[in-house]
Amino acid sequence: MSTQGITHTGGARTAVRLRPPRHRVAGRAVALWTLRALLLWGPAAGVAAALAVASDITGPVPWATGPLWALTAAVGALGLLVVLAMPQWRYRVHRWEVTGEAVYTSFGWLWQEWRVAPMARIQTVDTERGPLQRALGLATLTVTTASAAGPLRIDGLDAEQAADLAQQLTEVTQTIPGDGT
């Protein structure tokens, strides 16, 4: 079997090693991550601004107005930096690849991580599509393994590609004897 991402070598097993994955996620992932950042930082800046305005209007603690406006500026500036830089940076780093031997991921923003999960360790394969993902035609593929490090997540895949990969991973792992532990 062969598709973009999976090449199954039948019964032959090769050594699985940590290496950079080959595929980028969908370009629309940048919009997803930007919207998520806006949904986090927009309300935070709004609350800080509302507190500053309330302090200006009511004046119960006059000395707090200046620091509240400074807080609003700081939260707004940091939020703007995150909204503009983080999605682009994540897109450069976020990679994935699935072979007949393993699932490879590379992800992160400030802390970057490479992970590899051998096919024999895979226990479940799931896809997830929240409201923003559905609107953008994206999905998250989660591969749960018998690992203390937790599942591998590939966020920002094209929804159809994620469904195909989930199906193909399920088929490949069913050919491997054992229970994934």
The DSSP result for 37-72, as a single string, is HHHHHHHHHHHHHHHHHHHHHH-SSGGGHHHHHHHH
Domain 94-174 fold is PH-domain like (2.30.29)
Q: What is the Cα–Cα distance from 173 to 125, expressed in whole angstroms?
A: 10
Question: Above 70 in pLDDT, residue 49?
Answer: yes
pTM for the full predicted model: 0.79
Tokens read off for 147: 């690992």
Per-residue confidence at 179, pLDDT binned at 50, 70, 90? low
Report residue 145 CA to chain centroid gap: 17
**Closest by Cα among 9, 20, 24 to 116:** 20
